Each structure stands twice: as structure tokens, then as C-alpha cells.
Homo-oligomer: A and B are copies of this chain.
Amino acid sequence: VSAAAQPSAAASPPAVVTFLSDYGLRDEFVGVCHGVIATLCPSARIIDITHGIARHDILGGALLLASALPHMPVGVHIAVVDPGVGTGRGALALELGDGRVLVGPDNGLLVPAAQAAGGISRAVEISRSPLALERVSATFHGRDLFCPVAARLAAGTPFEQAGEPFDPARLVRLAMPTASIEGSRLRADVRLLDGFGNVQLAARAADAEALGLRPGDQLELLLADGAVHGARFVRAFAEVPAGELLLHEDSAGFLALAVNGASAAERLDLRAGRQLLLRRGEPGAGLPASAGR
């Protein structure tokens, strides 16, 4: 029998397990989860998407998972932002149209990523999964439930053995940030803030086009508190002087506010969920009375 005729563990790429959470890196939580995965699936490559999601920020975790997932190898993808741990909230494994498997709580965290990756082909409820650790604590389902189930799926356990069939139509879903064109104005929710204070809006390049914005144009921002700001629509931060506000299409394909060399979130006192209005032109004259909430 030739070597080529046999399946070779060495030649096939390793199973991939990705991991996103709000655990932070100060404590041992992430390390312990890595240990559990490596114990149950010794060949797994583990990729930490991030563990810096703001504590209990389900929507922020969901949006960031959706943005990051297309850049990951196809594998089993764990996400844990889980304020309802230990209560009756459900736990899920989702098989997606593109072959990925998502594992996490049934609180909306997994849905935007699933929709962006081919939709859900099968779902199982894993709260009492036979693939979990023998004893599941009330507070650390990352260690006791989500990572063991994910590791065993990555190691080859068939998907349907992870839990009970579950109708994807019954998944908990979150309200998503939105944007809309209203005449000459764009009304947009703040979608995500990053650690540098860049403010991603729930709007895309097509919305800038709809406003008639071209690179180099000046635009006007109206915030919910009535404050008015000017900004320039550019392609790169360095196109405006240090300290000035800009709007650009960010690397995830969304319109985003930034300050060259500083934090736009601080400058504008913005956070996720806030809404603002944008239009083309110099800031100042003829403003609407309010930008909403």
C-alpha cells in the first residue's frame, strides 16, 4: 500500500477552532479554554479573534464576529458573550451554508455571522450536550460547554451528536443598527467603536454616493445633542491634518468617523447605539432641529 493511497494526518491541514469572547486576557479564562480544546482535539489550531469585547456587549460581539469570520479558515467558531449564563438561556451549535460551525449562547450573538456566511443549514440545542464536560458549572460555560462541544466537533464528532435538533426560526435575534437616506441627509446608527476611537457607522459606500459625496468633499455632522461638526470625506487618515475629523470607508466596508492621530469617539462623545445625521457641504446653515435619540 503506497503512502499516497492512505489518508495522511500530516498532509491535511489541522482542524481550526476560533474563539471570541468578553473574557479579557487578565485572568486565566482564555488559557483554560485553550487547555480544554487542546485536550479534546490535540491537533486543533486555535485562533483568538479577540477577547476584548466589552463585558456583556452581545451586539458588539455579534457585529465583530460577523466582520471577522470571513477572514478565518473554515472551522468551528466559538463565541461567548453571555450575561445570561446559568439562567435558562439556550445554547447552540449552528451548521452554516459554507461549512462552518458556530457554537455559543442563544442570545443573538451568532446570528449576524451566520447570515453573512451562507445562512444556517442545521441547528442543535446543546445545553445538555453529551459532548460537554461531565460537570457543567453555573458560571463558566465557555470552559464546560462551548469549548468541549466545539473541540469534539473539530475532532470529527458528527454535528447531529452535539445536541437536540432546533428550529433556526426560533433563534433569539438582536435589533441591528441601521442607516437610511432621508432627502439630502444620511441618518446612521453608530455600529462599532474600536480601541483607537474610530466610530463605525451602519452605512456603506453606497450611502456616501447617495449623498453625492466624493473624496475630498466637506461634510456636516449633526449629533443627537444638537452639536454640529465638520469633517472631510477621504480615503486615508493622512489626507487630513493631524487632529482633524474625517469620514472614510473603513476596512470592513462601512463608513467610519475618525480623527487623524486621536479618538473620534472621545471628540464627538459617541458610543455604540447613538444616531447621527450627515450631509454634504460646509457645516453651519439650515440644520434640522434634532438628530433623533
Contact = CB atoms under 8 A, between A and B. Distances in A.
B71 A49 contact: no
A270 B248 CA distance: 36
A42 B14 contact: yes
Taking the full assembly, how many copies of this chain does it contain?
A: 3
Interface string A75-97: 00000000111110000000000
B139 A236 contact: yes
Contact of A68 (B26, B31, B55, B238): B31
A68 B32 contact: yes
Nearest to A141: B251
B26 A56 contact: no
Interface in A131-156: 137-140, 143-144
Interface in A237-263: 237-239, 248-251, 261
B139 A251 contact: yes
A35 interface: yes
Nearest to A52: B26
Given A8-B10, A195-B26, A248-B138, A31 B47 contact: yes
> Chain A interface mostly helix, strand, loop or mixed?
loop
A16 interface: yes
Interface residues of A, number: 65
B73 A38 contact: yes
B10 A86 contact: no
Interface in A1-53: 3, 6, 8-11, 13-14, 16, 18, 20, 24-28, 30-32, 34-36, 38-39, 42-43, 45, 47-52
A289 B80 CA distance: 44
B25 A25 contact: yes
Contacts of A35: 18, 47, 49, 68, 71-73
Given A32-B49, A38-B47, A38-B72, 5 more contacts: A26-B52, A27-B64, A28-B68, A30-B48, A139-B236
